[in-house]
Amino acid sequence: MIPIRDDVPRRTLPFVNYALIAANAWAFYHELMLGARLDKFLLRWGLVPARYAKAGALVKLGAKLYYGPFLTSLFLHGGWLHIIANMWVLLIFGDNVEDRLGHARYLIFYLVAGFAAGLTQIWFSWGSSLPTIGASGAIAGVMGAFFFLYPWAKVTIMIPLVVFFPTFDAPAFLFLGLWLWMQVSSGLAISSTGELGGVAWWAHVGGFAAGALLLLFMMPAKAARSGSRR
């Protein structure tokens, strides 16, 4: 299921959301330019759980390499499909969340949700040497916020089949709730087999939960009182 659009109008220009998309695009361009050095770069600036499982890691690595990947990993992607899918979802849902939170709050919200997603992934893949990269954890936070801000908004969804691409409208709570269920069930399936896999399912779950919780602390009082009735 691919979201195409939602029907929530925005009142302000989401320039922070656009800037985040541009930053991801620039980082991906930088990755493309690295050639054979890319794998080493991703191991250095991706979020590698094994890095934090070692005793005295902060002292050995230094603050830059210890804390830095929590930020840099949010702007790195593993291929064209990865970044296009992430940026498309961010474009659809991020503008409305920025509209409600305000520009500065939205930026902080996005980064904190991404940080929480990274911590969640580290916890559930403790000791893994695979780097976690991608904006999907932070974007999951945006989706979690949208879930509670606009539960009855209509989301147009496309189902790509072999020869045709039907679309239909569904309430946001149904689409996003189903998406969350898929992340949790996939994470549990991976955990039960002991295989780590190539998708950071738990980062998605952690980001979604963080986004929902952050609303309690970051929603401006005026925006909360005039909340959507959708």
Domains, the chain, in order of start with CATH, read: 2-225 (1.20.1540.10)
Q: Give, in degrees to the nearest 5, the angle at Cα 117 between 212 and 225.
A: 20
Rounded mean pLDDT of 120-146? 94
What's residue 194's pLDDT?
Answer: 53
| Count of residues making up the chain | 230
Considering the entire predicted model, what is its pTM? 0.91
Amino acid at 230: R
What's residue 229's pLDDT?
Answer: 45
Amino acid at 154: K
Distance CA 93, CA 144 (A): 10
Distance CA 125, CA 108 (A): 26
More confident residue, 60 or 176: 176
Band the pLDDT of 127: cuts 50, 70, 90: confident
Rounded mean pLDDT of 8-30? 97
Alpha helices in the chain (DSSP H): 15-34, 38-45, 49-53, 57-72, 80-101, 103-124, 136-149, 172-193, 201-218, 221-225
Rounded mean pLDDT of 197-201? 77
